[in-house]
Amino acid sequence: MSIFVDENTKVIYQGLTGSTGRYYGLLNRDYGTQVVAGTHPKKAGTDVDGIPIFASVADAAEATGATATCIFIPAGGVQGAVLEAAEAGMELVVCITEGVPAHDEANFFNVLRRDFPGTRLLGPNCPGLISPGKANIGITAGHIAKAGGPVGIVSRSGTLTYQALYELQQKDIGVTTCVGIGGDPVPGTSFIDCLEAFEADPETKAVMMIGEIGGSAEEEAADYIKHNMSKPVSSYIAGVTAPAGKKMGHAGAIVSGGQGTAKAKMEALEDAGVRVGQNPTEAGELMAEIVAGL
142, 131 Cβ separation under 8 angstroms: no
224, 273 Cβ separation under 8 angstroms: no
pLDDT of residue 199: 98
Instruction: Read off the pLDDT of residues 67-111 as tens digits, 9 standing for 90 and up.
Output: 999 999 999 999 999 999 999 999 999 999 999 999 999 999 999
**Helices and strands in the chain: count of H runs, count of E runs:** 9, 14
Confidence of residue 256 (pLDDT cuts 50, 70, 90): very low
Topology of domain 141-292, CATH: Rossmann fold (3.40.50)
pLDDT of residue 102: 93
SS3 95: strand
Mean pLDDT of 114-127: 97
Helical H segments across the chain, by residue range: 19-31, 57-64, 78-87, 102-115, 158-170, 191-200, 217-228, 262-271, 280-292
Enzyme catalytic residues:
250
Does the pLDDT of residue 243 top 70, yes or no?
no
Least confident of 49-63, 67-81, 157-171: 157-171
Average pLDDT, rounded, for the chain: 93
Mean pLDDT of 124-140: 97
Share of the chain above pLDDT 90, in %: 86
Q: Which amino acid is at 58?
A: A
Confidence of residue 158 (pLDDT cuts 50, 70, 90): confident
Confidence of residue 249 (pLDDT cuts 50, 70, 90): low
Mean pLDDT of 239-268: 64
Q: Which amino acid is at 231?
A: K
Topology of domain 10-122, CATH: Rossmann fold (3.40.50)
* pTM: predicted TM-score of the whole model, two decimal places: 0.93
Mean pLDDT of 151-162: 93
With 0-12 / 13-18 / 19 or more C-beta atoms within 10 angstroms meaning exposed / middle / buried, residue 42 is exposed
Confidence of residue 4 (pLDDT cuts 50, 70, 90): very high
pLDDT of residue 185: 86
- pLDDT: which is higher, 262 or 79: 79
H/E element holding 241? none
204, 149 Cβ separation under 8 angstroms: yes
Confidence of residue 245 (pLDDT cuts 50, 70, 90): low
Of the candidates 22, 20, 26, 63, the one whose C-alpha atom is nearest the C-alpha of residue 45 is 63
All CATH 3.40.50.261 domain ranges of the chain, comma separated, are: 141-292
All CATH 3.40.50.720 domain ranges of the chain, comma separated, are: 10-122
pLDDT of residue 105: 96
SS (H, E, C) 40-75: CCCCCCCEECCEEEECCHHHHHHHHCCCEEEECCCH
